[in-house]
Amino acid sequence: MINTLDTKQSGGGRAIAAVRISNVRKTYRLDAVDVPALADVTLTVRSECFTVLSGPSGSGKTTLLNIIGCVDRAGHGDVEVVGVDVNRLSDDELSDFRARHLGYVFQTFNLLPVLSAFENVEYPLAIAGLRAAERRQRAGELLDAVGLADKARSRPGRLSGGQRQRVAIARALAMAPRLVLADEPTANLDSETGHSIIELMRTLQRELRTSFVFSSHDPQLLGAADDIIRIVDGRIVGIERAAGHRDVTNGEAFAC
């Protein structure tokens, strides 16, 4: 069992919504043309769920993921992530918030090539100032959890694509984030490896009670989702909840 570093609940002990956004708009400037990416999006992402943002290329799903992940700011509207109004945070505060409460998994892995698998997982813990003994223990636990304890000393160049993604998942979970975001995490993997990565993320999500939000159109990932949020032309056109899960009711966001 992996030790967690902080709580996933509000002060009253109730699981909070992973994300609440209201009337969010986002427009990008391309030369002399304004290009709308999101149009009045209102959404609650349930806590402790496996949520997939799905839509065709150019639908706005990556833009929405970036706003949820505090990589980009909304041009208009309210954005609350794990109970925090991120619109009120300065750039420095937002950077600290991302480091402490959010984890990221990229389709291109984004591992540091000069560091070993262990050092890649340990790196965010070192930046956060954890003591050497604590960060070594946690990095070791996470590599063991993703099945790569025997590859701890290997650098990314000596790992397969699936193994690199496992390291990236371990690194994303290093700070015991409340929310993990992934942009097309299986896009560069073959179907069998992609399936094993999805199963791994699903297992860790349930064990650690962490909320996961993906952008993807991978049928395997959609099949594993608790919630699927369909986006077309910058608008949410449908939300599919897995059978048997409670929906958001009377303003309360129930966990899966």
**pLDDT beyond 50 at 248:** no
Please state, in angstroms and as integers, the Cα–Cα distance from residue 249 to each residue in 28, 37, 161, 253, 255, following that order.
34, 29, 41, 7, 12
Task: Give percent of the chain above pLDDT 90.
Answer: 80
Q: What is the pLDDT of residue 33?
A: 86
Looking at residue 49, the DSSP 8-state letter turns out to be -
Q: What stretches of the chain show up as alpha helix (H) in DSSP?
A: 61-68, 91-101, 117-127, 132-145, 161-172, 191-208, 219-224
Q: What is the pLDDT of residue 30?
A: 81
Relative orientation angle of helices 132-145 and 161-172, to the nearest 10 degrees? 130
Lowest mean pLDDT among 26-30, 83-87, 91-95, 228-232: 26-30
Provide the mean pLDDT of the chain: 89
Confidence band for 13, pLDDT divided at 50, 70 and 90: very low
- Burial class of residue 244 (count of CB atoms within 10 Å of its CB; 0-12, 13-18, 19+): exposed
Q: Are 23 and 42 a contacting pair, CB within 8 Å? A: yes
Residue type, 179: L
For residues 16 and 217, give the distance between their C-alpha atoms in angstroms, rounded to a whole number: 27
Element spanning 214, H or E: strand 211-215
**pLDDT beyond 70 at 15:** no
For residues 184 and 152, give the distance between their C-alpha atoms in angstroms, rounded to a whole number: 25
Confidence band for 229, pLDDT divided at 50, 70 and 90: very high
Confidence band for 3, pLDDT divided at 50, 70 and 90: low
Which of 8, 33, 5 has the alpha carbon at shortest distance from 178?
8
Looking at residue 234, the DSSP 8-state letter turns out to be T
- pTM for the model: 0.87
Q: What is the pLDDT of residue 250?
A: 39
For residues 181 and 165, give the distance between their C-alpha atoms in angstroms, rounded to a whole number: 14
Confidence band for 218, pLDDT divided at 50, 70 and 90: very high
| Backbone torsions φ then ψ of 34, nearest 5 degrees | -85, 125
Q: What is the pLDDT of residue 32?
A: 81
**pLDDT beyond 90 at 90:** yes
Which of 47, 38, 27, 172 has the alpha carbon at shortest distance from 98?
172
Average pLDDT over residues 11-23: 75
Angle at 242 (CA atoms; ends 241, 247), nearest 5 degrees: 45
Name which CATH class applies to 19-241: alpha beta
